[in-house]
A and B are shown apart, each in its own frame.
Chain A
Amino acid sequence: MSAPHIDTPTIPSAAPGIPLAKDALLALVRERIEVEPDPSDRWDLTVVVASGRLRDLMRFLRDDPRLRMDVLLDIAGVDYLAFPGHRDARFAVVYLLKSLAFNHRIKVKVRVEEEALEIPSIHDCWKIADWMERECWDQLGIVFKGHPNLKRLLNHHQFVGHPLRKDYPCQKRQKLTVNDPMVDQLQLRLRQLGYTVLSEGEIHAPAVRGGTPGEVVGTGDKGMQDPDLTTGTQVGDMKRSVL
């Protein structure tokens, strides 16, 4: 009883491809763009590139028929402030790439100075780069120049600072009073899709809860319109007691 359009339930896969060796990969990249291998990666290949050549390198890695690094796996930012004996730039951004065709992997590293916290965005090369760059900015404060919507991804919109920096104390908590209404983001998306926003209407929250306090209509709960109730988290030891 096979599923209608998975033609056969299982399709034998191709034999594992043979990934290029580290040296061959490096030589191929060096043909086109000036890169240095990073000695701190003893296991696989990391190439260090100047931030000015990053976009060229990424496009080359993605499109070259011998490399075809078509998947951007992750963007990891590192803060070297407390790294023993580190002399280079304070930050680095590491792009993890892999090739589905050849099964080889490469890491691309860009060093970022604390004084000039800016590197070019690659959001137009891979769709996923958009969110990954947002996360990197949120956590480490590295600005991706040319990013269309560089907003926080993990932390809330009232958060100040960048928690994964080594000088951010682990337990420095920051409270949130009201959730992000996100109306501006939706309008941005509508504009990206070619719509023109003429007027902002009401926000409907069916069967819930959360989101946009003070803007909820249609829930039949007058209490929610009361500004005192919608100020969000009041902090303090609230114990239930019986009079």
Chain B
Amino acid sequence: MKVLTPKGEQLELLTVNMGPSHPATHGTLRVFCALDGETIVASMCEMGYLHRGFEKMVEQGTYTMVLPYTDRLNYCSAMMNNIGFCKAVEKMFAVTVPERCVVLRVILCELSRIIDHLVCVGANLVDLGALTNFWYFFNPREAVYKIWEKLCGARLTNTVTRIGGFYRDTYPGFEDDVRAVLVQIEGAIKDVRGLIEHNKIFLDRTRDVCVVSKEDAISWGWTGPCLRASGVDHDIRKQEPYYGYDTYAWDTVIGTKGDTYDRIMIRIFEMLESISITRQALDRLKPGPINTNDARLTLPDRNRVYHDMEALINSFKLIYEGVRPPPGECYDATEAANGELGFFIVSDGGTNPYRIKARPPCLTQFAAFGPMTEGTMIADAFGTLGSINIIAGELDR
């Protein structure tokens, strides 16, 4: 493609199409760019290759039937999506879940955040050519999946929460398993930090690459680790605390520059914070009920169902119709591994959601990817793509 530059020079640009099925684009992203040598001059991104109609499908079933769909938004940390959606519906009912449920949700959220970051950083380092870290990170991740299997039977897509509580309580020995896996994760993080922190190749390829300023990050609507990497101190767990996150001792991790290095390191340090939160939560985990006793949300006790007509009707209604939030429009957000995961729910008072709009954290980051990589080398651009952690499931919904 022949072009005239803004300065009036004639330039021959090479147009290159990457994706949607390219190893560097993580599956389903497409980047179409014009190159001058190896430098990207202009780049346009296309998404939607995994658009599978989340928002249309959830209108077809009941609120409980939405839960498996939320699993498949960010499939690297499915439980956080479950919990985010349940929290939004619980807000509509104005119910509070019991203490054990809250603490358990914190533990599952933080473990999910850790495995999400493990995949993100591990895959990102593979993009940069460092394969060993991937194996180091995937071993503790498999150990977490062992816990998920014991907890609910599924590895990846768990659907473990229910509106108003949980599908079931934990198994005996859950606390010990989690404590053991935390030690394993700490070991893996130590190994990986040892490999990358003083590695010249890693530092040269990530430092000062694709710097995103504070102002740009905010204008692009970034949230979560990427926003914090640009130096904005914002974490919903701190700023609008839910599930008692303000009562745990932990710090938000913030970067100073907003380059690829910061975005990777933030995730590594956040894992350490999450480990600390999980340990504190495990200490608080006391036996007790895991479901709210609100009859609009929770199935009645089986013994009562067999002997009490009202309980029987309640059970039938909940199973056949599901929950019925009051009519209205509600938005609620949680801090997921990638940033603010929000659900905007419109209820008409019926059994099926009238409209659910998921607010995926990585849409905002992928929208910025084209402009932020203009002016960098093409190889660095794809190192950056890993660092903003695009999960196609929630990007395209």
The residues of A with any CB-CB pair to B shorter than 8 Å are 1, 3-7, 9-14, 16-17, 19, 38, 40-44, 46, 70-74, 76, 78-79, 82-84, 94, 96, 100, 103, 105, 107, 126-128, 130-132, 135, 139, 152-156, 163-164, 170, 180, 182-183, 185-186, 188-190, 193-212
Contact = CB atoms under 8 A, between A and B. Distances in A.
Interface string B32-65: 1110000001111011100101011101100000
30 contacts: A1-B193, A3-B261, A6-B266, A10-B251, A13-B235, A42-B326, A42-B330, A43-B92, A43-B328, A73-B342, A78-B354, A82-B354, A96-B342, A130-B367, A164-B56, A182-B17, A182-B44, A183-B15, A186-B43, A190-B3, A199-B1, A201-B14, A201-B15, A204-B16, A204-B17, A205-B16, A206-B16, A206-B18, A209-B22, A210-B22
A78 B221 contact: no
A141 to B, nearest CB: 14
A108 to B, nearest CB: 12
A183 B17 CA distance: 10
Interface stretch (B4-12, B127-135, B285-293): B4-12
A190 B4 CA distance: 10
Interface secondary structure of A, over-half rule = loop
A7 to B, nearest CB: 6
B183 interface: no
Contacts of A44: 330-331
B238 A186 contact: no
A195 B5 contact: yes
Contact of A196 (B3, B42, B327): B3
Contacts of B344: 74, 76, 94, 96
B42 A189 contact: yes
B240 interface: yes
Contacts of A212: 17
Interface string B324-362: 001111110100000010101010111000110101000
A206 B374 CA distance: 19
A211 B20 contact: yes
Interface of B: 1-6, 10, 12-22, 30, 32-34, 41-44, 46-48, 51, 53, 55-57, 59-60, 91-92, 193, 197, 203, 207, 216, 218-221, 223, 232-235, 238-241, 246, 251-257, 261-262, 265-266, 269, 272-273, 326-331, 333, 340, 342, 344, 346, 348-350, 354-355, 357, 359, 363-364, 367-368, 370-371, 374, 396-397
A84 B235 contact: no
A10 B252 contact: yes
A78 B239 contact: no
A143 B130 CA distance: 46
A210 B21 contact: yes
A6 B32 contact: no
A203 B17 contact: yes
Given A43-B330, A96-B342, A198 B397 contact: no
Main SS at interface, chain B: mixed
Contacts of A73: 221, 223, 333, 340, 342, 359
Contact of A71 (B3, B41, B221): B221
A198 B363 contact: no
A199 B17 CA distance: 18
Contacts of A195: 3-6, 41-42
A126 B219 contact: yes
A36 to B, nearest CB: 14
Most buried by A among B2, B33, B257: B2
A128 B346 contact: no
Contacts of A170: 53, 56-57, 59-60
A71 B223 contact: yes
B234 A100 contact: yes
Given A1-B197, A100-B232, A128-B220, A40 B17 contact: no
A38 B2 CA distance: 53
A189 B370 contact: yes
A25 B331 CA distance: 17
Given A13-B238, A83-B348, A41 B329 contact: yes
Given A13-B251, A78-B355, A204-B17, A128 B56 contact: no
A76 B360 CA distance: 12
A210 B342 contact: no
A94 B329 contact: yes
B22 A207 contact: yes
Given A156-B48, A204-B17, A210-B20, A127 B233 contact: no
Given A74-B344, A186-B33, A203-B17, A131 B363 contact: yes
B30 A211 contact: yes
A210 B30 contact: yes
Given A128-B364, A195-B6, A185 B44 contact: yes
A190 B252 contact: no
Interface centre among B2, B32, B327 (most CB of A within 10 A): B32
Given A41-B329, A107-B331, A210-B20, A128 B221 contact: yes
